[in-house]
Amino acid sequence: MAGIEQQPRASAKLTMLQFLGVAVFASMLGGCTVVGPDYVPPDTEVPDTWTQVPDQGLSTAPVERVEWWRVFDDPVLNELVANARRNNNTLEIAGLRVLEARAQLGIAQGLQFPQAQAASGEASYVSPPENTGIDAGYWQLGLGAGISWEIDFWGRFKRGIEAADAAYLASIAGFDQAQVLLASAVVGTYTTIRSLEEQLAIARQNVAIQQRSYDITEVLYRNGSDSELDMQQALTLLLSTQATIPALETTLVRARNALSVLLGEAPGRLVTQLERGGGLPDVPADIAIGLPADLLRQRPDVRQAEYLAMAQNAAVGLAAADLYPSFSLTGSIGVASNTLGDADFGDLFSSDALTWSVGPSFIWPFLNYGRIKNNVRVQDARLQQALVNYRETVLQSAREAEDAMATFIGARQQHEILEKTVSSAIRSNELATLRYREGFSDYERVLNSQQALFAQQQRYITNQGDIVLALVQLFTALGGGWETREGIPELDPKTLELMRERTDWGDLIPAGAN
């Protein structure tokens, strides 16, 4: 082969030993030198206690928020969340990102070893010109193998592994966060559905009440005992209440469709399942919320933000390694022969056909320092952004928990007042109707009492839903609901089987997964 140096066999053995010695020595040196900054966790300000005084059933007792939705003691809700975790498409995409990141980590780990390894072969027929004195064509044959190994002298590949490993952990945290958000969305949408069903029931009850009042005013008007004004006012109130029903029904259909999508199903399939339950989920009297410091451990988005900062920290070292020369060891070995003269194909495997080359090399882009240094600066600026983003994520998590806590406490306090308000409105309507029938008051009082009754009942039901939604927001802000995963992310078995048939995933998708 052209460019390949021939050497005696004895010296070849010596040179190969020297080659191995240089490789081992360079590897040892590479393991001792890693450029770039080591990751230092940023300081975060997490208060020792909540600003909200524990009240309305909230306590700072420690708690594991595994499957927090079970505190509502609603079998239908538990089943819906379980189905969503199995079939939700967004969650499956997050799980596939974990597999992608794991494969990327495998690529980074593989770069520690010889980066180029290739076998080659050639067979070409040569027809020489007549002035060479060779009167016939001949075959030229060759077989060989080459290897190139860039020694990790500056820790470039170690930093690459650090970055890929942190990105892999960030993808797992992203999958966990997707589980938290999915559970929150399912419980929140389910609560909205139950609240709308209650509001529809209240609207229909008030339509029945107002229909009876209108019938009375109509009879009195036709008998000449009352004015047309009372009848028209009664009709106006009745039609106004009836008009709320189509809007509530439309919103209910849309909420059910949204829940179907969360469960990875076509719209309309959940009607029968939802009919098995009824009413808003029950809120427990006592709820443990732990301490603010638990956020750093529980919230996946906080962990994800820190892992991304760790990955970017390693990226600074990767960029800094370009400032220094890279050292490589290259070698090749092969056999070559042709069919000129007495040679034949069998000579390809004789000792005289052996060719090889070996030696070190280096590359140092010393005239590109402007671009390389600025790339280091770019990566460092991104690192600082990631660190600030981590601090911001911690602050936002604390704010979300405090906001949800305040909303929950306020909604519970409002519930006690609205409960009395509804009782008063019911009694007021009864008295106004009775006094009107007995002729002690005009019909305007009946209208006012019926309007107030419907409004207060709607507020009461809305408030009940707000209490549940506030508790859902609180559990979401505290983080939880992701701890039940085992092994690789839960993916649809059909998806895993399709991927195994399409690609050799090896141990990344174990044979018994899911």
CATH number at residue 299: 1.20.1600.10
Residue 454 has a pLDDT of 93
Q: Name the region of 120 (left: φ>0; alpha: ψ -120 to 50; beta: rest).
A: beta
Q: Is residue 431 part of a domain?
A: yes
Model pLDDT for residues 230-275, shown as the tens digit of each residue = 889 999 999 999 999 999 999 999 999 999 999 998 887 787 888 8
Q: Is residue 90 part of a domain?
A: yes
Please give the Cα distance from 18 to 6 (Å, whole number). Answer: 17
Q: Which domain holds residue 451?
A: 50-59+73-112+153-323+385-482
In this structure, are 263 and 404 located in the same domain?
yes
Please give the Cα distance from 427 to 304 (Å, whole number). Answer: 55
Q: Is residue 439 part of a domain?
A: yes
Q: CATH no. for residue 136?
A: 2.20.200.10
CB 295 within 8 A of CB 398: yes
Sheet (strand 138-151) strand order: 116-126, 138-151, 326-338, 354-363
3-state secondary structure 95-118: HHHHHHHHHHHHHHHHCCCCCEEE
Which residues neighbour 229 within 8 Å (Cβ) at sequence distance 6 or greater? none
Q: Give the residue among 315, 269, 331 at the shortest CA–CA distance from 114.
A: 331
In this structure, are 290 and 389 located in the same domain?
yes
Please give the Cα distance from 447 to 210 (Å, whole number). Answer: 9
Residue 6 has a pLDDT of 37
Please give the Cα distance from 49 to 42 (Å, whole number). Answer: 21
Q: Is residue 37 part of a domain?
A: no
Q: Is residue 25 part of a domain?
A: no
Q: How confident is the prediction for the chain on average, in pLDDT?
A: 84
Residue 11 has a pLDDT of 45
Token code pair at residue 329: 């060891």
Token code pair at residue 448: 């006012």
Model pLDDT for residues 464-493, shown as the tens digit of each residue = 999 999 999 999 998 877 776 665 667 788
CB 364 within 8 A of CB 324: yes
DSSP state of 51: S
CB burial string 349-379: b at 16+ within 10 A, e below: eeeebbbbbbeeeeeeeeeeeeebeebbeeb
Q: Is residue 239 part of a domain?
A: yes
In this structure, are 390 and 260 located in the same domain?
yes
The tokens 């048939």 sit on which residue? 501
Q: Is residue 300 part of a domain?
A: yes
The tokens 């990631």 sit on which residue? 386
Q: Is residue 36 part of a domain?
A: no
Model pLDDT for residues 115-156, shown as the tens digit of each residue = 778 888 888 887 777 666 666 777 777 888 888 888 888 888
In this structure, are 225 and 287 located in the same domain?
yes
pLDDT band, residue 64 (cuts 50/70/90)? low
In this structure, are 105 and 251 located in the same domain?
yes
Model pLDDT for residues 155-213, shown as the tens digit of each residue = 888 999 999 999 999 999 999 999 999 999 999 999 999 999 999 999 999 999 999 98
Q: Rounded to whole angstroms, what are the CA distances from 183 to 17, 187, 317?
A: 61, 6, 39
